[in-house]
Structure formats: C-alpha cells, structure tokens
C-alpha cells in the first residue's frame, strides 16, 4: 500500500511526486507513455510571470522558484521576458505584477531598440520587461525530473494505463491498471491532463473540459541572439531563445475530440504566419530554418481557469487539470501545492476559484 499514487507523469504529476517524496511519503507515479509522455514534452517551454491574474502570476513565480531549486541549469535559462503590445492590452498583466510585488520595466519602442537592436517595434507599441522569466527545454526537464524521482525513491511505473479509480461513497481506495493490477493508496492525485476525462468517465464521473490541439515550432537562426523570451500581443506570437534557436509560434489551435500526440505536421498556414510575424518583429542573422515542430493537446475549462482541488465527494483524491496553453509554467507549483493541500491539509481558500465543483457531473450509476 502506498501513501500517494500519482496518475500521470507530466509536469504536474512529477512535481506532486517530487513534493511527496520530499515529505517522506511512499509514492508511486504511473504514466501510460512514460514520464513527460503527453503535452508537457510537446510544449514550447515559455515560463513568464506576465499573466493576467495575480493568482497565475504567483503560481508561475513559485514554479520558477521550484524549477531553479530542483532542476539542473541544463534544462533552463533565465532569459527574462518582454511582452510587446499596445499599452491598454498589457495593463491587466502590469496590474497583476504590481499586486504580486513583481518588478517590471516599461520600455518604449526606442528603448527596446537601444537595448536589443534586433527588435523592430512600431512607435505606438510598448514593451513590458520582467527578469525572473525562464526559457525551459521541456524534454530535458522531463528527463531531469524522472531521474530525481527515481533517486528520491518514487516508484515510477511506465507503459501501464490507469483505467479507473475504485471509489466508495467518500473516498478512492485503489486505481485499476491496464495490466489487471490494482494499486491501493491513502491518497490519489489525478494529473493525467487531457486524458483525465476518460479515467473519470470510467469511474462514473464526468468533468466538463474541452480539448484544443496546439502547435509550436523550433527555428534555427544560425547564431545565438542576446534577446529575452518575448510575446507579441499585437501579432499574436511568442518565442523563447535557446542557443541559436527560437522556440514558439502563434496563439493558434484547433478543437479536438481526443488528445492528439501524433507526429502529424501542424497546418502549413500556422507555420507560415508564425514565421511571417517573427520576421516582422525581429531582424534575424539569417532566414529562420524550421528544425522541429510540436503538436500537442491542451485542456481548457469554460472560464479558462484550472481545475485544482479535491475530487467532489472523495476525501482523499485530488484533481489538477484544465491548464490550457500555460500549464508548463503553472504546473510545477500546482502539482507541489496539491500534495501540501491533500496530505498536510494546507488551506485551499485562495484557490477556491479553481474549485473542481464547478466542472463536475456524476453518472446516475454512481449516485445510486
């Protein structure tokens, strides 16, 4: 019997397991495809504190602290982040930074060009610059996390699917696996991201989320640029530097019925526009050459907020889902805090807006 069973080894599940191991809990992590087998490895790797709500700013700030504390520097770089746009479009995120006490600089187009001559910014736009932001290589992050978990004694089970939770009227007792085994634990964390709906459905519960397939690209510029990661609220693109490459794309996505982790190429229009808008914003040393594309599933809720809290009616099971296109940067904090909440009974009042209650429905069979 384990103290904690974590279902799903994406960024969320890994940081839950890490926290649990740190607290000395007997922990098992189960991932159908292997650690970082889902959206996390396919993400663009941008970590920025420039988000619209104070809660999200705080979560990313905490995630940055956790990544820097636990993960070797080869997986991340402190690049800072420049958000470019019209002043009114950036106001909300500046207010959130202020509320969280995070310092930022407001730069006009000339100041941006003075500091980073590669940027071409129209005079009517401004840039908001923050410093703690990271450029993260998700695949390296996944490998590092896996190694740390094994080293800390977490039992990592890969290639086996969690099919359903066995539940009584007030708690989960075990998780059923595709190989026929059942794993009993005192606590459960459901961190299977875009696949969570399926496990809940098999457990007679439904969660109201929807899926989008998102796309990102890595382009080689032939030479390293000394620029921050940046987003362009005007041209709807974002990029982060990594060596001589830039990773990012447009804010474009497609509705999907099921999680798409295929290797199919993103729609050609998406790449064409991403490159066109990149070249409008940045003077590159040579034309960007496409070296990698990413395609992956993101789960969204109706109001765009994550689902984070105890699974309704179950005292010992927690769900973290609905992280949308900003889950890599908020996932470490949410995964870590979930363990504190469920095992150490830490207050969740602050996160009541993320309550799972708003997104859950039960099948009649479970209510009988």
Residues at the contact surface with ligand FAD, assessed by CB under 6 A: 7-13, 30-33, 36-40, 42-46, 161-162, 191-195, 199, 214-216, 294, 296, 298, 323, 325-329, 331
The minimum distance between CB 49 and ligand FAD, in angstroms, equals 12
The minimum distance between CB 210 and ligand FAD, in angstroms, equals 14
Token duo for residue 88: 């009114």
- Give the distance from CA 283 to its chain's centroid: 30
Of 46 and 167, nearer to ligand FAD (C-beta) is 46
287 φ, ψ (degrees, to nearest 5): -60, 135
**3 state DSSP class of 153:** coil
The residue written with tokens 């005292």 in the block is 315
The residue written with tokens 């809940």 in the block is 200
The minimum distance between CB 198 and ligand FAD, in angstroms, equals 7
Question: Nearest Cα to 274, choosing from 258, 252, 296?
Answer: 252
Of 25 and 323, nearer to ligand FAD (C-beta) is 323
- The DSSP code sequence of 13-67 is HHHHHHHHHHTT--EEEEESS-TT-SHHHHS--EE-S--SSHHHHHHHHHHHHHH
For residue 365, CA distances in Å to 10, 173, 204, 309 come to 31, 18, 7, 23
The answer to whether 11 touches 296, Cβ cutoff 8 Å, is no
Of 31 and 343, nearer to ligand FAD (C-beta) is 31
Of 127 and 325, nearer to ligand FAD (C-beta) is 325
Of 227 and 294, nearer to ligand FAD (C-beta) is 294
The minimum distance between CB 298 and ligand FAD, in angstroms, equals 5
Of 8 and 80, nearer to ligand FAD (C-beta) is 8
Of 116 and 242, nearer to ligand FAD (C-beta) is 242
Determine the Cα–Cα distance for residues 188 and 171; give it in Å rounded to an integer. 10
The minimum distance between CB 11 and ligand FAD, in angstroms, equals 5
- Side-chain half-sphere CA neighbours of 41 within 13 A: 21
The minimum distance between CB 135 and ligand FAD, in angstroms, equals 9
The minimum distance between CB 368 and ligand FAD, in angstroms, equals 25
Residue nearest to ligand FAD (CB): 327
């Amino acid at each position: 019997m384990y103290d904690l069973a974590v279902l799903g080894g994406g960024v969320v599940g890994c940081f839950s397991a890490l926290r649990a191991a740190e607290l000395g809990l007997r922990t098992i992590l189960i991932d159908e495809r292997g650690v970082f087998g889902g959206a996390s490895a396919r993400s663009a790797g941008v970590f920025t504190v420039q988000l619209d709500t104070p809660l999200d700013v705080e979560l990313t700030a905490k995630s940055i602290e956790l990544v820097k504390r636990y993960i070797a520097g080869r997986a991340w770089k402190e690049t800072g982040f420049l958000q470019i746009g019209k002043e009114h479009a950036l106001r909300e995120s500046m207010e959130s930074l202020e509320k969280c006490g995070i310092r930022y600089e407001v730069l006009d187009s000339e100041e941006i060009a003075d500091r980073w001559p590669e940027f071409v910014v129209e005079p009517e736009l401004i840039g908001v610059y923050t410093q703690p932001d990271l450029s993260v290589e998700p695949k390296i992050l996944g490998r590092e996390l896996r190694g740390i978990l094994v080293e800390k004694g977490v039992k990592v089970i890969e290639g086996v699917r969690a099919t359903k939770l066995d539940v009584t009227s007030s708690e989960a007792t075990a998780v059923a696996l595709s190989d026929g085994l059942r794993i009993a634990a005192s606590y459960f964390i459901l961190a299977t991201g875009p696949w969570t709906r399926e496990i809940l459905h098999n457990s007679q519960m439904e969660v109201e989320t929807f899926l989008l397939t998102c796309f990102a690209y890595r382009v080689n510029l032939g030479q390293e640029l000394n620029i921050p990661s940046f987003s362009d609220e005007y041209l709807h693109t974002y990029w982060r530097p990594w060596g001589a490459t830039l990773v990012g794309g447009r804010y474009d996505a497609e509705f999907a019925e099921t999680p798409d982790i295929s290797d199919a190429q993103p729609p050609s229009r998406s790449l064409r526009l991403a490159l066109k808008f990149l070249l409008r914003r940045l003077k590159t040393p040579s034309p960007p050459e496409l070296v990698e594309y990413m395609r992956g599933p993101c789960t969204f809720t109706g109001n765009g907020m994550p689902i984070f809290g105890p699974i309704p009616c179950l005292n010992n099971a927690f769900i973290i889902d609905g992280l949308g296109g900003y889950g890599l940067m908020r996932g470490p904090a949410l995964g870590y805090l979930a363990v504190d909440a469920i095992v150490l009974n830490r207050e969740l009042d602050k996160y009541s807006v993320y309550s799972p209650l708003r997104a859950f429905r039960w099948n009649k069979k479970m209510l009988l």
